[in-house]
Structures are given as structure tokens and as C-alpha cells.
Amino acid sequence: MRLYTAYNSKGDPDTLKKIYDEVGLSEKTVKEILHSGFHNMQFIDFYRNYADEDSEESREDVTCDYTFEPCRELIRAEQTETVFGALDELSYREREVIRSNIGFCPDCHSMKRPKFRLHTFQEIAYKNELSSAEAAVNIYHKGLAKMKDKLQMKGIFHP
């Protein structure tokens, strides 16, 4: 397509012959490449024109996405991995009590499935065969304290 454009976008046999010779491909292959190039060429404005109330025209670049910040996404992913790593280091009972109270999937940590909803401490006590809801609350707070300590040691949590 670059050569086609360099030869003023002419489709005459002489121009096509120059392209065949320059790229070193067969006539059929070059025609197929040019044909697919014509179908893929989409001319769009990279700038949106608009006029304000004073009838002054200005342009806005519509190709840039300033909302995505890779560094922030990387830090968020590392923090999430560290927090769930600290959760995985807890005992099974503490993990289950915290997970049930917050309401996320134990495998993928998603909160979107209806199966993994928030549970009351009474429901958590019944499910984990605890003596009372207060026992579930105590396990929950002890588990959170252990997680905070582990995250402080890793430099993630700063009280």
C-alpha cells in the first residue's frame, strides 16, 4: 500500500508493473495484497471538530485514551495479589469466615456470582459449626488482625 500511495494511487498496468518488480512478488499476489488493502483502508477523522457558543471552532483528539494508567493498574494488581496471598496464609476457618462475611468466590475472588453473597455472622457460625455468632466475629477480627500484620510486614498496609 505504501508503494501504491507513493505512485500517486494509480491503478494503471505500468504502475502495477513497477510495484511487482519492486517487491519481487507475482502479479497475482500483489493484486491480492492491494485488493485486501483497499478493503481495509478506513478513512476516519482523528480529530472531532465542534463549535462552542461563540462559534469558535476547535478540535479534539479522539484517538487518545487518557483514562488508562498502566502504572496504576500494575500497582492495583500487585496489591490485590498481595492481599489475597495474605488471606491464603490464614487458617482455613479464618479464611472461610472472612470470605463469607465479605462475600467473594474462594477460587477467583470474584464478587459477581450470586452464590457468593454476604453472610451474617449467625449464618457463618451455623455453616462452620461454631458455638455462636460472637465466635464468628472473634475469628473474623483475629483473621483481619493477622492479615494486617502480614501486610504491614510486606509494606502494603500503613495504619
Q: What is the mean pLDDT, run by run of 10 residues, along the chain of 159 residues?
A: 70 79 83 74 56 61 64 83 89 90 78 75 88 92 92 79
Cell numbers standing for residue 130: 461454631
CA 156 to chain CA centroid, nearest Å: 22
pLDDT at 16: 79
Q: What is the 3-state secondary structure (H, E, C) of 15-64?
A: HHHHHHHHHCCCHHHHHHHHHHHHHHCCCCCCEEEEECCCCCEEEEECCC
Distance CA 94, CA 100 (A): 10
pLDDT at 145: 94
Q: What residue numbers bound the domain in which 124 lies?
A: 70-154
Residue 159 lies in a domain: no
- Split into its structural domains, the chain has a count of 2
Distance CA 19, CA 15 (A): 6
Tell me, yes or no, whether 146 and 91 share the same domain: yes
The CB density around residue 83, as the number of other CB atoms within 10 Å, is: 17
Tell me, yes or no, whether 78 and 148 share the same domain: yes
The model's pTM: 0.53
pLDDT at 139: 93
Tell me, yes or no, whether 136 and 94 share the same domain: yes
C-beta separation of 151 from 88 below 8 A: no
- Give the residue from 17, 32, 61 where a domain finishes: 61
